């Protein structure tokens, strides 16, 4: 049965076990100039040294999509051939421009659904297109490897071609030949090149529930150390029949990443998919949720059984113990009252000489005045920049590379794919790792790896989506700020600082609202959610304040995200005692007596007699020296990041006049043997030379 309706789209890419990501993928929906309504999914896998492969892949996708939108062609096979050749020409032109003797090429797999009902494909290389239908995953395209091409040309038998050492060598790519041959064949029922292309040019009518997935070979390859595929065909079909659009893409990618053996150099993984509407998919999703909830309930029952029985015994023991303690407590009440009186007496005596606590506000550095920095011109594929507190660390492109903040350091990611005057902002604590997968006018998409703690400010992006590692948990924030802490592999804490926040435990489906000022904890294995709870300032905001304070843009972010300055820290200030400095002791003695109260209900006072030596007090000449603090805040210049302007503190030239009157001792001293010297009140000259600010990096 033919279907015509809204096509769900999704895509994802990851570096896998490699150092660089040379894959690119995209999905889009638009009308061509010729009036065709197209849903598009495309994947390119780059080849070449010195990052030429990723440049070739990005150029090919950009040129292809632009050519499709601007084409007047209404014959779909001709349209696909022409636009793929346009992408090929763009890669070749860039290769000639660089002309550094390095190879620059990429594969291309393109799937197009016309008017929501008919599928057409185009393929160059060994990236693949699959059709998920009726519980089966069928490969639509054939790889352009030595094995297949030699058989198509009739030069080798299938057996001889398969046993050739070059059997898996790719024979056809973009960027090497001007007269590129574009394969539009659908090999669902045949392996013959001509027959498959005849079928492909007619197009394939889609049915309700069909899913088309375009992927690089990294998704279907086996891991080097285990020889096993990261995701089996059956698992892909199940996920496509349960999730839809971007949630489905994330679910497949999460499954693959979770299977990568530690240290394996697994290839880059990319996929883009399109799905027709299917009522059964919603039912499958609901069933999956019920399965998760049932598992959670069973786990709670087991925990309750393990805890409940011992708890009953503990309660009985405690009840007996409390009864016994009640009897004992009555017998000891008199002794306790006596002891309380003694403690009170000691405390009152100590307060005569021990200092009180005087609240002293914590010194908060003055807020510097930001100075805007010129916005750079972004090259194609650049999405933003990564900064340390002092320097530009990395230009962030759409290659999906992992960005990290070393232990003990912090990083600031400015997301800005257009060069606009405002950034999307990510502030990362030491040990954090994240991957910026895409940034577009409709939002930014990231993945947060284990061991990370970040603060996100959406800025100009209407939505910032964040996947929590390879788990089913995902969060997003719109027009506001969110903190995500994923330090433990089984636990993630989500805090909504401001704006509109949501979280999901189903790969980005079925989001649940999280009000501003509240937090939840997600168990990433059982998918249990604890909360929401109100954010306690004393527990959270101090760390966020310190993180944001390290960057000039963070000053505005603190205000926008409602992160208050830390509360004042009390400082103990000692009262002066009655003992003067440097006394000269004489042999005379004085007897003093005082009465110390025994506390409330003590029944009077007790005499206390002490003999202390008299002293001849010779005060030291006090000296008052004022030293201004003139060290300015260092500047921090960053791209699209305001620069701090140092403002030296003006020193005061007026010294503080010291008191020449010595502190009166608590005991009456004997007449001193000598007249105290007149204190010297000449202050040292203040130092007025400010420390020069550190140079702007």
CB-based burial label for 333 (10 Å; 0-12, 13-18, 19+): exposed
Please determine, for residue 122, whether its predicted confidence score (pLDDT) is greater than 70: yes
What confidence tier does 555 reach under pLDDT thresholds 50, 70, 90? confident
Helix, strand, coil % over all residues of the chain, rounded to 5 = 25, 30, 45
Averaged pLDDT of the chain: 77
Q: For the beta carbon of residue 444, count every other beta carbon within 10 angstroms.
A: 28
- What is the torsion angle, in degrees rounded to the nearest 10, for the CA atoms of residue 217, residue 218, residue 220 and residue 223? 140
- In the prediction, which pLDDT does 288 show? 75
Please determine, for residue 12, whether its predicted confidence score (pLDDT) is greater than 80: yes
The class (CATH top level) of 8-284 is alpha beta
Q: How does DSSP classify residue 559?
A: H
| Of the listed ranges 32-36, 232-236, 372-376, the one predicted with least confidence | 372-376
What average pLDDT does range 162-179 have in this prediction? 93
What average pLDDT does range 467-494 have in this prediction? 91
The per-residue pLDDT for range 345-394, each reduced to its tens digit, is: 554 444 444 344 344 444 444 544 444 444 445 666 688 899 998 889 98
- Cα dihedral 281, 285, 286, 290 sign: positive
CA distances from 298 to 286, 291, 365 (A): 18, 11, 53
pTM score, whole prediction: 0.65
The residue among 326 and 571 whose pLDDT is bigger is 326
The fraction of the chain above a pLDDT of 90, given in percent, is 45
The fraction of the chain above a pLDDT of 70, given in percent, is 68
Q: How does DSSP classify residue 258?
A: T
Q: How does DSSP classify residue 343?
A: H
| Of the listed ranges 28-37, 285-294, 539-548, the one predicted with least confidence | 285-294
- In the prediction, which pLDDT does 485 show? 94
Please determine, for residue 675, whether its predicted confidence score (pLDDT) is greater than 70: no
The per-residue pLDDT for range 633-647, each reduced to its tens digit, is: 344 334 444 444 444
Please determine, for residue 224, whether its predicted confidence score (pLDDT) is greater than 80: yes
What confidence tier does 78 reach under pLDDT thresholds 50, 70, 90? very high
Please determine, for residue 192, whether its predicted confidence score (pLDDT) is greater than 90: yes
Q: Identify which of 414, 408, 416 has the alpha carbon closest to the alpha carbon of residue 432.
A: 408
- In the prediction, which pLDDT does 596 show? 35
* Nearest-angstrom CA–CA distance, 412 and 428: 6
The per-residue pLDDT for range 452-474, each reduced to its tens digit, is: 999 999 988 998 999 998 888 99
* Nearest-angstrom CA–CA distance, 215 and 219: 7
| Of the listed ranges 180-184, 605-609, 647-651, the one predicted with least confidence | 605-609
- In the prediction, which pLDDT does 126 show? 95
Angle at 192 between CA 187 and CA 193, to 5 degrees: 80
- In the prediction, which pLDDT does 363 show? 46
Please determine, for residue 219, whether its predicted confidence score (pLDDT) is greater than 80: yes
CATH topology of domain 369-560: Jelly Rolls (2.60.120)
Grouping H, G, I as helix, E, B as strand and the rest as coil, residue 504 is strand
What average pLDDT does range 198-205 have in this prediction? 97
Sketch the domain layout of the chain as residue ranges. 8-284, 369-560
The per-residue pLDDT for range 125-146, each reduced to its tens digit, is: 999 999 999 999 999 999 999 9
| Of the listed ranges 49-58, 118-127, 137-146, 292-301, the one predicted with least confidence | 292-301
What average pLDDT does range 513-533 have in this prediction? 92
What average pLDDT does range 303-321 have in this prediction? 69
What average pLDDT does range 653-680 have in this prediction? 44
- In the prediction, which pLDDT does 149 show? 95
What confidence tier does 543 reach under pLDDT thresholds 50, 70, 90? confident
Q: What is the CA radius of gyration of the chain?
A: 37
Q: Where are the beta strands (DSSP E) in 458-580?
A: 464-468, 474-488, 491-504, 512-514, 518-523, 529-534, 570-572
* Nearest-angstrom CA–CA distance, 541 and 565: 8
What confidence tier does 303 reach under pLDDT thresholds 50, 70, 90? low
Q: Identify which of 522, 510, 528, 439 has the alpha carbon closest to the alpha carbon of residue 484.
A: 522
The per-residue pLDDT for range 57-75, each reduced to its tens digit, is: 999 999 999 999 999 999 9
| Of the listed ranges 101-110, 269-278, 416-425, 565-574, the one predicted with least confidence | 565-574
- In the prediction, which pLDDT does 332 show? 58
- In the prediction, which pLDDT does 69 show? 96
What confidence tier does 687 reach under pLDDT thresholds 50, 70, 90? very low
The per-residue pLDDT for range 243-265, each reduced to its tens digit, is: 999 999 999 999 999 899 888 88
- In the prediction, which pLDDT does 97 show? 85
Please determine, for residue 606, whether its predicted confidence score (pLDDT) is greater than 80: no
């Amino acid at each position: 049965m033919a279907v015509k309706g809204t096509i769900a789209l999704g895509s994802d890419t990851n570096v896998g076990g490699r150092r660089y990501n040379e894959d690119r993928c995209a999905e889009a929906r638009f009308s061509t100039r010729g009036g065709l309504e197209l849903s598009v999914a495309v994947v390119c896998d780059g080849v070449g040294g010195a990052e030429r492969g990723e440049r070739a892949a990005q150029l090919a996708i950009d040129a292809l999509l632009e050519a499709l939108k601007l084409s007047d062609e209404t014959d779909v096979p001709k349209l696909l051939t022409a636009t793929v050749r346009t992408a090929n020409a763009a890669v070749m032109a860039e290769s000639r421009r660089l002309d550094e003797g390095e190879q620059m090429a990429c594969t291309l797999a393109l799937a197009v659904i016309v008017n929501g009902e008919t599928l057409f494909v185009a393929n160059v290389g060994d990236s693949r297109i699959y059709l998920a239908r009726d519980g089966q995953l069928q490969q639509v395209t054939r790889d352009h490897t030595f094995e297949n091409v030699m058989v198509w040309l009739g030069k080798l038998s299938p057996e001889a071609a398969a046993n050739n050492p070059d059997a898996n060598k790719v024979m056809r790519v973009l960027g090497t030949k001007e007269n590129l041959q574009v394969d539009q064949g659908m090999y669902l029922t045949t392996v013959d090149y001509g027959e498959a292309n005849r079928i492909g040019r007619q197009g394939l009518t889609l049915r309700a529930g069909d899913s088309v997935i375009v992927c690089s070979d990294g998704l279907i390859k086996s891991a080097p150390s285990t020889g096993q595929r990261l995701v089996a065909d059956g698992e892909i079909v199940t996920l496509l029949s349960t999730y839809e659009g971007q949630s489905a893409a994330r679910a497949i990618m999460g499954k693959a990443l979770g299977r990568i053996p530690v240290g394996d150099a697994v290839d880059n993984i990319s996929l883009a998919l399109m799905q027709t509407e299917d009522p059964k998919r919603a039912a499958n999703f609901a069933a999956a949720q019920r399965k998760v909830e049932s598992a959670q309930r069973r786990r709670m029952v087991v925990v309750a059984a393990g805890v409940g029985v011992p708890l009953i015994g503990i309660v009985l023991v405690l009840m007996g113990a409390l009864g016994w303690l009640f009897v004992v407590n009555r017998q000891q009440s008199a002794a306790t009252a006596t002891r309380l009186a003694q403690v009170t007496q000691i405390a009152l005596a100590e307060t005569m000489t021990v200092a009180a606590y005087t609240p002293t506000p914590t010194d908060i550095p003055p807020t510097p005045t930001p100075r805007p920095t010129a916005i750079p011109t972004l090259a194609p594929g650049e999405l933003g920049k990564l900064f340390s507190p002092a320097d530009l660390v990395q230009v962030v492109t759409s290659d999906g590379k992992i960005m990290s903040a070393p232990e003990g350091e912090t990083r600031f990611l400015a997301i800005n794919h257009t060069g606009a005057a405002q950034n999307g902002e990510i502030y990362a604590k030491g040990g954090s790792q994240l991957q910026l997968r895409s940034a577009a006018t409709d939002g930014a998409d990231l993945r947060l790896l284990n061991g990370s703690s970040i603060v996100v400010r959406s800025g100009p992006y209407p939505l910032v989506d964040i996947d929590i590692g390879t788990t089913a948990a995902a969060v997003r924030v719109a027009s506001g700020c969110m903190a995500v802490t994923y330090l433990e592999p089984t636990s993630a804490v989500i805090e909504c600082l401001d704006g509109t926040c949501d979280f999901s435990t189903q790969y980005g489906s079925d989001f649940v609202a999280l009000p501003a000022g509240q937090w939840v904890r997600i168990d990433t294995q059982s998918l249990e959610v604890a909360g929401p709870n109100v954010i306690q300032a004393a527990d959270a905001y101090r760390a966020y304040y310190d993180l944001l304070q390290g960057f000039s843009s963070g000053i505005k972010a603190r205000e926008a995200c409602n992160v208050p300055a830390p509360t004042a820290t009390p400082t103990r200030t000692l009262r002066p005692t009655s003992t003067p400095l440097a006394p000269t002791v004489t042999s005379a003695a004085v007897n003093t007596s005082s009465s110390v109260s025994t506390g409330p209900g003590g029944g009077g006072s007790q005499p206390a007699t002490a003999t202390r030596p008299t002293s001849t007090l010779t005060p030291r000449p006090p000296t008052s020296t004022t030293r201004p603090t003139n060290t300015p805040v260092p500047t921090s210049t960053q791209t699209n990041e305001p620069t701090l302007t140092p403002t030296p503190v003006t020193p005061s030239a007026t010294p503080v006049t010291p008191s020449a009157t010595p502190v009166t001792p608590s005991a009456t001293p004997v007449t001193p043997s000598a007249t105290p010297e007149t204190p010297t009140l000449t202050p040292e000259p203040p130092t007025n030379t400010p420390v020069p600010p550190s140079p702007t990096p």
